[in-house]
Amino acid sequence: MTTNETYLIGLDFGTDSVRALLVRGSDGAEAATAVFAYPRWRDGLYCHAAAQQFRQHPLDHLEGLEYVIRACLQQAGPAVAAQVKAIGLGATGSSPLPVNREGTPLALLPAFADNPNAMVVLWKDHTAIREAAEINAHAARTGTPYLQYAGGIYSSEWFWAKLLHVLRDDAAVREQTWSWVEHCDWLPFVLTGGNDVSQMKRSVCAAGHKALWAADWGGLPPAAFWESLDPLLEGFSSRLYTNTCTADQPAGTLSPAWAAKLGLPESVIVTTGALDAHVGAVGGQIEPYFLSKVMGTSTCDMLVAPAAALGQKKISGICGQVPGSVIPGLVGMEAGQSAFGDTYAWLRNLLAWPLQWLGEDGDAAGQQLRAELAARILPELNRQAALLPVHDDAPLALDWLNGRRTPDADPLLKAAITGLTLGTDAVTVFRTLAESTCFGARKIVERFATEGVPVKGLIGVGGIVKKSPFIMQLLADVLEMPIRAHAGEQTCAAGAAMFAATAAGLYPNVEAAMHAMGQGFERTYLPNGERAAVYRRRYAQYERLGYLATALYSPR
In this model, does residue 556 exceed pLDDT 60?
Answer: no
- Position 552 scores a pLDDT of 85
Other Cβ atoms within 10 Å of 308 Cβ, number = 7
With cut-offs at 50, 70 and 90, classify the pLDDT of residue 382.
very high
Domains along the chain with CATH numbers = 7-284+488-522 (3.30.420.40), 341-486+526-553 (3.30.420.40)
With cut-offs at 50, 70 and 90, classify the pLDDT of residue 361.
low
- Position 530 scores a pLDDT of 94
- Position 366 scores a pLDDT of 78
Closest CA to 10 of 65, 53, 55: 65
Closest CA to 497 of 47, 68, 198, 85: 85
- Cβ contact 9:254 at 8 Å: no
- Position 555 scores a pLDDT of 58
- Position 2 scores a pLDDT of 43
CA distance 343 to 431: 11
CA distance 555 to 464: 34
Q: Under the phi-then-psi rule, with left for phi > 0, alpha for psi from -120 to 50, and beta for the rest, what region is 227?
A: alpha
Q: How does the average pLDDT of the chain come out, rounded?
A: 95
pLDDT tens for residues 168-210?
Answer: 999 999 999 999 999 999 999 999 999 999 999 999 999 999 9
- Position 360 scores a pLDDT of 62
In this model, does residue 492 exceed pLDDT 60?
Answer: yes
CA distance 411 to 397: 17
Q: Which amino acid makes up residue 342?
A: D
C-alpha Rg value of the chain to the nearest Å: 23
Alpha carbon 511 to chain centroid, angstroms: 22
- Cβ contact 499:509 at 8 Å: no
* Mean pLDDT within 11-28: 96
CA distance 157 to 66: 28
CA distance 525 to 518: 20
What share of the chain has pLDDT > 90, as a percent? Answer: 91
- Position 1 scores a pLDDT of 39
pLDDT tens for residues 275-329?
Answer: 999 999 999 999 999 999 999 888 999 999 999 999 999 999 999 999 999 999 9
Tell how strand 17-24 and strand 7-13 pair up. antiparallel
CA distance 248 to 498: 9
Q: Under the phi-then-psi rule, with left for phi > 0, alpha for psi from -120 to 50, and beta for the rest, what region is 52?
A: left
In this model, does residue 524 exceed pLDDT 90?
Answer: yes
Instruction: To the nearest 10°, report the CA torsion of 62, 63, 66, 67.
Output: -150
Whether the model pTM is above 0.75? yes
Omega within 30 of 0 (cis) for the link into 407: yes
- Position 362 scores a pLDDT of 63
* Mean pLDDT within 226-231: 97
What's 293's DSSP letter?
Answer: E
Other Cβ atoms within 10 Å of 395 Cβ, number = 17
pLDDT tens for residues 433-490?
Answer: 999 999 999 999 999 999 999 999 999 998 899 999 999 999 999 999 999 999 998 9
- Position 359 scores a pLDDT of 65
CA distance 336 to 299: 5
pLDDT tens for residues 68-120?
Answer: 999 999 999 999 999 999 999 999 999 999 999 999 999 999 999 999 999 99
Dihedral sign (CA 224, 92, 55, 434): positive
* Mean pLDDT within 356-372: 77
Distances, alpha carbon 463 to alpha carbons 22, 492, 521, in Å? 19, 11, 15
- Cβ contact 60:126 at 8 Å: no
Omega within 30 of 0 (cis) for the link into 94: yes
In this model, does residue 499 exceed pLDDT 90?
Answer: yes
* Mean pLDDT within 47-67: 96
